[in-house]
Each structure stands twice: as C-alpha cells, then as structure tokens.
C-alpha cells in the first residue's frame, strides 16, 4: 500500500531524478514514453486496487495514453506533439482516478467530475503537507538541540552557496595557478551555473513530492462531502420544445433547399456579390460548422439532460430531432464541400485537413445522438467521449504531413500550382514523400532539412524515429543528387 514511508519516498525520489535525467535540457523524444512507463509501474505495483476490476474504459484510457506518448518517438508533427504533451497527463489523471477512486456505477453525471476535482485538490494539499511531514521525521530522529543545530547549518550552507560561488569564480579568474589547483575538482562543479543547479534541485524535489502526494491520494478512499445524489434531469414542456424544434427545422429546410438548388450542382461563389471565392468558401465553412455544433448541443440537452412528463421521448420530439440531424448532415456536407473547393483553389494545410477530420467526427457524434433519440438507455456521453478519443488517436497516426504532400502534388499535377514555402514548414514526417516525388521544386527544401538535421546534436533521450529516418533518407538522397 502506498503510505508515507521511506521506501515509497525513495521510489518517488527516483521518479524525480528520472524526470530530470530524461527531460532537463533535452528535446522530447523516447524519454516521454519511458517516463510514462515508470509512472504506470509505480501506479500498478504501489497503489492498491479499490476492489473493483478495471473496466473497458480504463483500458481504453490506458491504451490511448500510451499510444499518444509513443507519438513523441514515431512522429515529428509539432502541432500534434504539443497537444499530446497536454493530453497524455490529462488522460493518465482521468484513468488513475477512475481506476482507483471511482466506486460508483454511474457514468456521465457530475459525480465523476467531482471525484477528479477532489483528487486534484487533495493532491495539492498533501503536496504542501509533505514538507511538514519530512521536517517532523527529521526532528523525531534527533533531539531538539541537534535538530536546531542541523537546521542552522543547512541555512548557513544555503546562504553561503552563491557567495562562495562568486568568490571562487573571481579567484579562479585572477590566478591561473589557483585555477589549476581547483582543476582537480570535477569540472562540472565550477562550469555549472549555480542558479541552474538550485533550479534543478528544486525541480527534482517538486516532482518527487508531487508524485508522492498524488499516489498517496489515489490509495485513499474517495470521500465526497455531502450526500451523493444523481444529477436531476431538467423538466421540459413538450409544447415549448416542439415549437422551438419546428421553427429550427423550418429554417434548416429552407437552407437545405437552397443548397440543393445551386450549391451541389454548380459554383456557389457565382451567386455571391459580397465575397471573393476564397472568402465565400471559408466563411460558409465556419458558420455551418458552428451551426452543426449548436445542433449537436441541442440533441445532447434534450436526450441526456431533459426530462418530459412521460418516461420516454414523445414521438413528435423524436421526429423533430431526427429531422434536425438530417438537415445537419446536409449542412455538414455543404461545409465539407466548401472546404474542398477552398483546398482545390489554395492548397492543403494542417488546419484544413484537421477541419475535415473534425467534420467527420461531428457526423459520427450526430449519428450517436440520433441513436440516443430512439434508444434512450444508450449512454451517450460515454460513447461520445470514446469516439472522440479514438478519433484523436487515429489522427495522430495518419501522418498528416505525408498526406498534405500527396494532396498538394495531386493538385499541382492538375493546376500547376504549388505552395513550396508551406511545404518547407512541414515536419520531418514529410521527408519520405518529398523524396519519392522526385520533383526539382523540392531540392531546396530537402537541402535545408539536411542542414537542420546535421546541426542537430541529438542525445539518446531525444531520439525520434521520424527524425532519425529522415536523416538516413536525406544522406542517401544527397549521394544520388
């Protein structure tokens, strides 16, 4: 069991030292999944189970966190790696709280959110309490006089460090013989910056105490103040809701009719007098996507939060919600087509492909919400979370950089237009496709990437498969060219 013992303290201290060794002053690479592995080893071997077997959602969270951590080794897409840097700790936190502190059968209510909030603040409280705990341990192992003496010595050492460092630096600079005398000491002792040393020690201490506090919190039963109650659904009036849905469907019907009249059969920009081709496509996409998100929110509220006089959704409400879903599909199709037109005119980029992926996700989420309309026991929130998480992991493994190059090359073959400067900004994930295309336009890009990689003095903690593979491919390419 994870308790306040020296053994567990040493395990967390190893975590702090390992964090410093893997990350401090180094680019992220293989170090990231290695540290995640260490965290999970401590979690499974030192934090006791609450008696409940882990569910499918726990394995989903675990697998997603591991797969996203591996992207730091496999890929080089800066946008996704930044998001993953934030996502992985969040997924680990959610997984560990759910696996060890979640003792309720409900999903999709406020209780789980409360359990995470309470766990977070309990960890913070224990983090600060640990300072006092270690002080009490030290005090208990010696008499008061010895403790005060040790305390004063530590304070004196701490105060003297910057003073001694400054004096030694000046003396070494003033006399070469004195410098040679001190040269017998390890070189790092006087080459290192004292401010940096203090920061590194503090970093190790903070990580150690945070791990200790978090794992101790996970091992304790969750106690939520007050009575635990189910989230009460909001009572809704059939007439009011039906009126709102009828008006929305009327507007959506008119819009869809216009779309089928000209948008899917011709050039939509020809009817616009206020916007250019690019402005029309981009503006329409943004508005239609926002309307689709609003409709998804309406579906979620009425099926997941709302409650009508009868236990099941009235048939009229089901029909109107189904019509909203159908019209939303039309609007998403319109937005998707607008974005495709914009890409054909101006090329493919990260943001445009991510927008395509997001619209596909919206279609799936809307389908799930519509399924909820007819099968009310369906756990919509859980399904939406799982689908969204799986979609995000999938996007990470699609290799967007290679896809951008392929799509832009296909556009170049048709139109003769190519944004070479944008391709220059792509990550090393695109190198393989750029070399295979064997296009004269890419020679300068490949030469610049080769120079970047040659200047990169990589340590093993920062190892990245995509970057390493790109270096080897460019070396072979340079010999041929």
Please list the pLDDT of the chain residue by residue as tens digits (481 residues).
Answer: 566 677 888 999 999 999 999 999 888 999 999 999 999 999 999 888 877 778 888 999 999 999 999 999 999 999 999 999 999 999 999 999 988 887 655 544 567 788 888 899 999 888 888 766 665 655 555 566 665 666 677 677 767 777 777 776 677 676 666 666 656 555 544 455 555 777 888 899 989 999 999 999 998 887 766 655 555 666 777 888 888 899 999 998 888 887 766 555 555 544 544 555 566 656 666 777 888 889 888 888 888 776 666 655 778 888 888 999 998 898 888 888 878 888 888 899 999 999 899 999 999 999 998 898 888 788 888 899 999 999 999 999 999 999 999 999 999 988 888 999 999 999 999 999 999 888 888 888 998 888 888 876 678 999 999 999 999 999 889 888 7
Query: How far apart are the C-alpha atoms of 122 and 128, rounded to whole Å?
Result: 10
- Cβ–Cβ contacts within 10 Å for residue 277, how many? 16
pTM attached to this predicted model: 0.82
Helices (H), 141-265: 144-174, 176-182, 187-191, 194-219, 238-258
Query: How far apart are the C-alpha atoms of 474 and 453, rounded to whole Å?
Result: 9
- Residues 29, 73 contacting (CB under 8 angstroms): yes
Give the pair of three-digit tokens for residue 45.
């071997």
Report CA dihedral (246, 248, 250, 251) to the nearest 10 degrees.
170
- Residues 358, 336 contacting (CB under 8 angstroms): no
- Cβ–Cβ contacts within 10 Å for residue 358, how many? 14
Beta-carbon contacts of residue 309 (< 8 Å; ≥ 6 apart): 238
Q: What is the pLDDT of residue 190?
A: 45
Query: How far apart are the C-alpha atoms of 177 and 188, rounded to whole Å?
Result: 19
Beta-bridge partner residues of 234: 306
SS3 assignment, position 234: strand
Query: How far apart are the C-alpha atoms of 146 and 453, rounded to whole Å?
Result: 57
Q: What is the pLDDT of residue 377?
A: 81
Nearest to 260 by CA among 355, 329, 342, 340: 329
Query: How far apart are the C-alpha atoms of 462 and 17, rounded to whole Å?
Result: 17
- Residues 115, 224 contacting (CB under 8 angstroms): yes
Nearest to 306 by CA among 240, 396, 247: 240
Nearest to 216 by CA among 7, 435, 463: 7
Nearest to 215 by CA among 36, 62, 357, 93: 93
- Residues 400, 350 contacting (CB under 8 angstroms): yes
Question: How far lies 443's CA from each of 70, 417, 439, 447, in Å?
Answer: 31, 17, 7, 6
Question: How far lies 375's CA from each of 9, 171, 313, 327, 329, in Å?
Answer: 50, 81, 10, 21, 20
3-class SS shares of the chain: helix, strand, coil, % to 5:
80, 0, 20
């Amino acid at each position: 069991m994870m308790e306040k013992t020296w053994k567990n303290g040493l395990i967390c201290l190893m975590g702090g030292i390992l964090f410093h060794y893997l990350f401090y002053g180094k680019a992220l690479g293989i170090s990231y999944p290695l540290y995640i592995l260490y965290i999970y080893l401590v979690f499974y071997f030192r934090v006791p189970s609450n008696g409940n077997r882990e569910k499918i959602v726990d394995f989903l969270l675990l697998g997603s966190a591991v797969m996203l951590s591996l992207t730091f080794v496999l890929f080089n897409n800066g946008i996704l790696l930044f998001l993953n840097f934030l996502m992985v700790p969040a997924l680990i936190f959610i997984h560990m709280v759910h696996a060890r502190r979640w003792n309720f059968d409900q999903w999709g209510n406020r209780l789980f959110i409360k359990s995470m909030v309470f766990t977070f603040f309990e960890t913070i409280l224990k983090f600060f309490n640990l300072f006092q705990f270690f002080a009490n341990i030290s005090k208990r192992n010696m008499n008061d006089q010895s403790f005060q003496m040790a305390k004063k010595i530590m304070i004196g050492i701490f105060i003297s460090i910057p003073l001694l460092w400054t004096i030694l630096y000046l003396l070494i600079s003033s006399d070469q013989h004195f410098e040679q005398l001190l040269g017998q000491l390890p070189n790092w002792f006087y080459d290192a910056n004292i401010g940096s040393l203090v920061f590194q020690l503090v970093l190790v201490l903070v990580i150690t105490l945070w791990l200790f506090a978090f794992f101790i919190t996970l091992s304790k039963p969750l106690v939520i103040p007050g009575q635990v109650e189910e989230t009460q659904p909001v009572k809704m009036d059939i007439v009011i809701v039906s009126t709102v849905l009828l008006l929305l469907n009327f507007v959506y019907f008119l819009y869809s009719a216009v779309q089928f009249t000209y948008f899917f059969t011709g050039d939509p920009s020809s009817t616009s007098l206020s916007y250019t081709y690019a402005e029309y496509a981009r503006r329409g996409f943004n508005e239609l996507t926002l309307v689709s998100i609003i409709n998804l929110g309406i579906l979620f509220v009425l099926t997941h939060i709302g409650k009508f006089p009868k236990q099941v959704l009235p048939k009229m409400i089901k029909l109107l919600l189904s019509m909203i879903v159908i019209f939303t599909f039309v609007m998403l199709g319109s937005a998707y087509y607008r974005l495709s037109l914009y890409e054909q005119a101006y090329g493919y980029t990260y943001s445009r492909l991510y927008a395509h992926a997001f619209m596909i996700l919206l279609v799936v989420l809307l389908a799930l919400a519509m399924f909820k309309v007819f099968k009310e026991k369906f756990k919509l929130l859980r399904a939406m979370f799982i689908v969204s998480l799986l979609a995000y992991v999938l996007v990470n493994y699609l290799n967007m950089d290679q896809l951008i190059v392929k799509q832009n090359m296909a556009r170049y073959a048709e139109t003769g237009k190519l944004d070479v400067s944008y391709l220059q900004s792509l990550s090393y994930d695109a190198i393989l496709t750029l070399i295979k295309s064997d296009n004269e336009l890419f020679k300068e890009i490949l030469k610049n990437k080769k120079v970047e990689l040659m200047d990169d003095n990589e340590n093993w903690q920062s190892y990245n498969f995509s970057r390493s593979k790109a270096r080897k491919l460019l070396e072979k390419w340079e010999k041929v060219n």
